[in-house]
Amino acid sequence: MNKKRAAVGAAFLFALVALLPSVATARPSTLPAAVRVLKLSYRAHDGRMRRAYLILPAWYGPLRHPAIPLVISPHGRGVGGRINVNRWGNLPAIGQFAVINPEGQGRMLTLFSWGDPGEIRDLARMPQLVESAVPWLRIDRHRVYAFGGSMGGQETLLLAAKFPHLLAGAASFDAPTNMAARYRAFDHLRFGDRLQRLARREIGGTPSADPRAYEIRSPLDWAQRIAFSHVPLQIWWSRRDTTVGDQEHESGLLYRDIRRLNPEAPVKEYVGNWAHTTEMKRHGYLPFALAQFGLVPQTRQRPPSGGPSKPAAGIPV
């Protein structure tokens, strides 16, 4: 390892320990022994140390380490990287890929980064950082992907907009795409006042006081960049989402905008009736989404029925 690589690794490798197959959550985890998780720490864009959780096939290690794909998986609002780990189950072992689940850091807040530009830059650094922290890890740089649900889906879309050459594909699940609309919609959610206070603190004010601050965190305002990014993209959303409500005018509208701006954009839309982000789980549609990028073998799972913007039910566009 050269001096530069060692220095980067020292900055990133604040802690690196192999966890047991279970990861502490509100309830005991059921992660299978086919995978293992390495707990890392990295220096975020603002200098703070933050945790990340790297999922690997159990067989992968210092003595056997071929180049493998990497999935960057930002977490949803308020939950953190450890909870995100449990979505993946044994899928990294089935597909022989790695998943990095960063804790993240916004402008002011950790678990409520809401697409902060510094957080998106940190996500883009993940391939370099994990390789520096784990010297025997080899990432296939032509097969780096992003998968995220809810706020993680929002940040996945912004990563595709801002760093298109990084990604071989991306999938967003029930993502908010208009932060000003989200701020207003918090009124209808439990603890909505608290969420609005957090948004004002993280983003810097209200949408009327600082509309530009909300626009730069809204994938809808990056629709043209996404449309011409050439990143293969899956957009998943639910008609019955009660957390990110009116998804037809959030993720659905983003899909329609991308299609309008670039009819040849490699984007597919999947619409269903699931509860918020339940499709992004190992027992949901996550295996199907991974299979579309060749990350796991093709499944017999049927895609969800088409939404109102599709020409035929069941056929992703």
Whether the pTM exceeds 0.75: the reply is yes
Domain membership flag for residue 137: yes
Domain membership flag for residue 249: yes
The residues pairing with 267 across neighbouring beta strands, listed in sequence order, are: 233
pLDDT at 14: 39
Say whether pLDDT at 178 is over 80.
Answer: yes
pLDDT band at 10 (very low <50, low <70, confident <90, very high): very low
- Asked if residue 161 lies in contact with residue 177, where contact means CB atoms within 8 angstroms, the answer is no
Domain membership flag for residue 283: yes
74: domain range? 3-178+218-291
Domains in the chain, number: 1
Domain membership flag for residue 305: no
> How far is residue 273 CA from its own chain's centroid?
21
Domain membership flag for residue 63: yes
Mean pLDDT of 29-58: 90
Mean pLDDT of 62-69: 97
Domain membership flag for residue 205: no
Say whether pLDDT at 301 is over 90.
Answer: no
Domain membership flag for residue 314: no
Say whether pLDDT at 104 is over 90.
Answer: yes
- Indicate which CATH number applies to the domain containing 40: 3.40.50.1820
Which amino acid, one-letter code, is at 43? Answer: R
Query: Three-class SS string for 49-91?
Result: EEEEEEEEECCCECCECCCEEEEECCCCCCCCHHHHHCCCCCH
Domain membership flag for residue 132: yes
What digits encode the pLDDT tens for the residues 254-300?
A: 999 999 999 999 999 999 999 999 999 999 999 999 999 999 999 87
d(CA 39, CA 141): 22
pLDDT at 190: 86
